[in-house]
Amino acid sequence: MHELTKAPPPRRPDLHVATEGEFVGWRTWIRDSFESHVGPFWHRIEADGSVRSAFRVEKKHLNGSGNVHGGCYMAFADYSLFAIATHVLDSRAVTTNFACEFLDAAREGELIECTGEVTRAGGSLIFLRGKMMSGTRVLLTFSGTIKRMKRKALPQPNA
């Protein structure tokens, strides 16, 4: 099976699929309380195997000027790194590097979407880049590196 169309990993207990509202059928992770608080952010796998992330701008996402806060852009881009890596990420991971360019502002009510690509996936590091848009306007470009984490053995009590 082609790498981008291989079956997803077994059902994850932290993966939630929306059953109602604007994002019916889209996925989100519920394990990350910060992303749940700041978002909700959503992602889906498109027919061609690519991944699209999205959120609808609410008042809570705005800065004092009425534009989406830069920190919200960065949190959503970081979420999108992991969504974009869905096909090559089969365990826990952390962001080790993140860079972005702010290009345009977004306002309340806009639909913000991210697309991107894995540029290289090695044994422990995954390199990615992406683009955040509202309609045809590019809002932010970003790149990042994700490090796969090895599962550590739990310490034995009284050891």
Average pLDDT over residues 78-97: 91
Could you read off the pLDDT of 92-116 as tens digits, one per residue? 899 999 999 999 999 999 999 999 9
| Cβ contact 126:93 at 8 Å | yes
Q: Which of 85-94, 122-131, 139-148 has the lowest mean pLDDT?
A: 85-94
Total-model pTM = 0.84
Q: Looking at residues 136-155, what average pLDDT do you find?
A: 88
CATH code for the structural domain at 15-148:
3.10.129.10
- The model's confidence at residue 47, banded by pLDDT at 50, 70 and 90, is very high
**Domain limits, the chain:** 15-148
The pLDDT of residue 112? 98
